[in-house]
Structure 1
Amino acid sequence: MTSLAATDLSPPDFLQLAGHPLRWRLLSELARSDRLVHELTGRVGEAQNLVSYHLAKLRDARLVSARRSSADGRDTYYGLDLTRFGALLSQAGGALHPGLRLAPPPRGPVAPARVLFLCTGNSARSQMAEALVRARSGGAVEAHSAGSHPAPLHPNAARVMAEHYGLDLSGQVSKSLEVFADQAFDRVVSLCDRVREVCPPFPGAAEVLHWSIVNPAGGEPDAVTYPRFVAAAADIATRADFLLAALPHETAT
């Protein structure tokens, strides 16, 4: 018989790391939206040096990512890798008992909702997000997109959506965010650091979220930027799935 003394009963490092009260609060904030340090300090009510210390711990564990703001290079946006976090939770549960490994929750039809995606040009990131959310919700989510300075749809955005997701963006047109200024939404999501700075308030109790995603265009030839569009679309698709999981779901009858 195996002795308990010979069995490693210490909790996984991941649990010890995430279980710290302040780090858990930071993770909870970043699970909803990418944020700047000063926003996190205000939300958790702790000093910036303490918040930065714990963010560094989470970065070392690759739970949290950091990216310089494209609006102000002195700022840094922090985000949570929800996919990695979920995998580690599942591994931790399985280490305790095989029956505790996490499985994707059964997803029923998404209840009707309105979501607006914003970026500067409404030419790539927000257009891809609109198409992905509309398709993956089965059309239940009324998805729209707009930009602070609308520009023509980027060819690589249409190409990536067609080749990797089977979605046709040929009918999509760029729109100004002013078109939607007086409309109510369940979620407003900015995908560009610059447009976040100028995002107007929307009527109702819309939750405003931020996905800090680098602009894949960059003014270079399409052949050069295409891999960046593929990576941006994959990031948006993952975030779109988590967004849909957070929206209310209808009970199947």
Structure 2
Amino acid sequence: MGSRPADAALAPPEFVRLAAHPLRWRLLAELADGDHRVRELVERVGEPQNLVSYHLRLLRDGGLVTARRSSFDGRDTYYHLDLERCTDALAASGAALHPALRQPPSSPSSPVGRARGRRLAVLFVCTGNGARSPIAEALLRHHTAGRVTAVSAGTSPQPQLHPHTVRVLRESFGIDLSGRRTQHVDDLVGRRFDHVITLCDKAREICPEFGPRRVHWSMADPGAAAETGEAGYAAFQHVAADIDTRVRHLMPVLNTPETVARSEP
């Protein structure tokens, strides 16, 4: 009876080796929900900080997790799970076991979940409401064809959207936000949202409570970049692409029965 060559199964794929460790799997699961600082992950997994930091470093070295310095407190670092990298790694791991398990990456499905007959409502918050949060609002509305109520606001809003925000949405996604006004989070007092997503480290610390589920996406303000002209516009293109990826991966979360049930009063 034939057997596979000995070198065909020397070691499992790197993703399997990384993710199979119980603590690293728990860290991946926590980061799949949103961006977190080390001390928050320590509290969530109940392990010492030095151990959590060690395994986070392994996940970073493996390309599954990225880190960025907090724009609110430079002593803090936010960790982020690269879901697209995980998607590719999972597909490659399946193919390494058997060719029939090679699954091409698929686009996240559009949400259709409703909470007691109403559309799910998602609020995006940043500081100025001039770039990150309106981009996220526009992209969620765009990808769901209006089946989700998407709103954005700022904790200290600018008088108007940054011109590059209008440009990048028009050129990259065919979305027209010309003439759109910014708004303050105080204008939304009394409204209920199923998901509240902060995209600014400072806004995360001072955003009021608007609903049962709150998530943080840590990303730099493209409008704060020193570059002007096309170099400055490139920062908006980068942030818009990042937000688009996150929004597309948010959509299946909005579509899960658990999310819909949690949204019901």
Give TM-score scaled by structure 1 length: 0.93
User: Per the alignment, do residues 63 and 175 of structure 1 end up closer, same or farther by CA in structure 2, a change over 3 Å counting?
Assistant: same
Deviation at 1:202, TM superposition (A): 1.8
Secondary structure at 2:123 match in 1:
strand
Aligned to 1:214: 220
1:149 aligns with 2:156: yes
Secondary structure at 2:122 match in 1:
strand
Aligned residues: 248
Using the TM superposition, name which of 161-170 and 5-14 deviates more: 5-14
Distance 2:181 2:102 in 1: 44
1:4 aligns with 2:4: yes
The one-letter amino acid of 2:216's match is H
Secondary structure at 1:8 match in 2:
helix
Aligned to 1:60: 61
Q: How does 1:198-213 map to 2 (within 5 A)?
A: 198-203=206-211, 205=212, 207-213=213-219
| Equivalent residue for 2:176, pick from 144, 165, 168 | 168
Secondary structure at 1:46 match in 2:
coil
User: Per the alignment, do residues 109 and 36 of structure 1 end up closer, same or farther by CA in structure 2, a change over 3 Å counting?
Assistant: closer
The one-letter amino acid of 1:22's match is L
Distance 1:64 1:17 in 2: 11
- Structure 2 portions without partners, runs of 5+: 114-118, 258-265
Q: How does 1:210-249 map to 2 (within 5 A)?
A: 210-218=216-224, 220=226, 221-248=228-255
Q: Is the 8 A contact 1:68 1:77 kept in 2?
A: yes
Aligned to 2:109: 107
RMSD over aligned Cα atoms? 1.8
Deviation at 1:219, TM superposition (A): 5.7
Using the TM superposition, name which of 89-98 and 42-51 deviates more: 89-98
User: Per the alignment, do residues 108 and 169 of structure 1 end up closer, same or farther by CA in structure 2, a change over 3 Å counting?
Assistant: closer
Deviations 1:137-196 (A, max 9, x none): 010010000001010200000000000100001132110011123211111000001100
Distance 1:182 1:123 in 2: 23
Secondary structure at 1:144 match in 2:
strand
Secondary structure at 1:4 match in 2:
coil
Aligned to 2:193: 185
Secondary structure at 1:168 match in 2:
coil
Q: How does 1:15-34 map to 2 (within 5 A)?
A: 15-34=16-35
Deviation at 1:11, TM superposition (A): 1.2
Deviation at 1:2, TM superposition (A): 6.1
Distance 1:172 1:97 in 2: 51
Distance 2:132 2:107 in 1: 27
Distance 1:138 1:249 in 2: 18
- Structure 1 portions without partners, runs of 5+: none
The one-letter amino acid of 1:75's match is D
Deviation at 1:107, TM superposition (A): 2.7
Give TM-score scaled by structure 2 length: 0.89
Deviation at 1:105, TM superposition (A): 6.5
Secondary structure at 2:139 match in 1:
helix
